[in-house]
Amino acid sequence: MEKFTYKQFEAQFPDDETCLESIFQNRFGNLKECPSCKKATTFHKVSDRKCYSCQWCAYQIHPLADTIFHKSETSLKSWFYAIFLFSNSKNGVSGKELERTLGVTYKTAWRMAKQIRLLFIATQSKLSGDVEADETYYGGQEKFKHLADKTKGTQGRSTKTKTPIFGMVQRDGVVIAQVVANTKQSTVTPLIRKNVKIGSRLMTDEYMAYDLMKKEGYKHLRVNHGAKQYVKGVAHTNTIEGFWSQLKRSVNGTYHCVSPKYLQFYVNEFAYRYSKRNSEQPLFYPMMKLAGRPV
């Protein structure tokens, strides 16, 4: 991936006026006709306001309306720089870091981070080829759980203090991860059908929730982690487990604790960043393209 440095950022976005013009061009392009008077026109920036006006009828266009910047009093350059930090970070950006870097209140920094995470949209195309599926759990430790696991054979799948996350990754491709209520067969199977093309080669572990995958039309290959089998020919789940490891290390190291209410936003952030890892374009540009659209 090509690097996008702070020096380049400063050259492209030196002030709020440049940032606003960038959003206007991103959202409306080279608008030559007024939507109101229908005349060929040029839109000019209104002094001291974040909008543009038609030269004939004074019809105004507000490029920030319904975007992540809507009704924000924070400078656009601060917003752009926050997006720059998110795009260049490997492990995420916390609200406290934004507070210190931008010189805003923690409440403002937290809201900015929350709005920026709305840009991390999951892929809409189905996975195909060699696809790995697996589940993981995020949250605190349950007291005496190790004793319950031995007596009941629960294999560490309790959701009493942890939130389940189910994920699918196409090898050398994108990852899709979803916070779920549980990892039962009735939950996992529809998600696989929705996101993985029928006929694909599906790799999973021995968890019984995947027992129907051959009947669903997939070429199902399994490894038995319980028997310490981690690779069987082409079958393994190392790719998706590598993503889980990166996700948990980053969340624990940067954010320390995330509530189940907002966990999906953080999962989307790391899934989006992982899926774009092989892109030749710096992550900042697709993020800015999404930032100029209504959310």
Query: What CA–CA distance (Å, rounded) separates 29 from 22?
Result: 10
Higher pLDDT, 265 or 121: 265
Mean pLDDT of 5-9: 96
Q: What residue ranges do the domains of the chain occupy? A: 6-119+283-291, 130-260
What is the distance between the alpha carbons of residues 162 and 129, in angstroms, rounded to a whole number? 31
pLDDT for the residue 144: 54
pLDDT tens, residue by residue, 17-60: 999 999 999 999 889 999 999 999 999 999 989 999 999 999 99
What's the pLDDT at 140?
A: 75
Cα→Cα distances 75→14, 47, 70, 112, Å: 12, 16, 12, 11
The answer to whether the CB of 158 falls within 8 A of the CB of 148 is yes
Per-residue pLDDT tens over the stretch 67-88? 999 999 999 999 999 999 999 9
Of 131, 129, 128, residue with least CA distance to 202: 131
Residue 251 DSSP code: I
**Confidence (pTM):** 0.90
CA distance 117 to 261: 14
* Per-residue model confidence as pLDDT tens digits over 224-254: 999 999 999 999 999 999 999 999 999 999 9
Among residues 91, 267, 276, the alpha carbon closest in space to that of 167 is found at 267
Question: Can you list the positions of beta strands (E) in 117-214?
Answer: 130-139, 162-170, 175-179, 201-204
| Contact between 93 and 146 (Cβ < 8 Å) | no
Instruction: Give, in degrees to the nearest 5, the angle at Cα 265 between 262 and 271.
Output: 140
With contact defined as beta carbons under 8 Å apart, do 61 and 52 qualify?
yes
Q: Is the sign of the CA dihedral 201, 231, 274, 265 positive or negative?
A: positive
CATH number of 130-260: 3.30.420
Q: How far is 241 from 203, CA to CA, in rounded Å? A: 12
Q: Is the pLDDT of residue 149 over 60?
A: no
The values of phi and psi at residue 265, to 5°, are -65, -40
Report the C-alpha gap between 55 and 142 in whole angstroms: 65
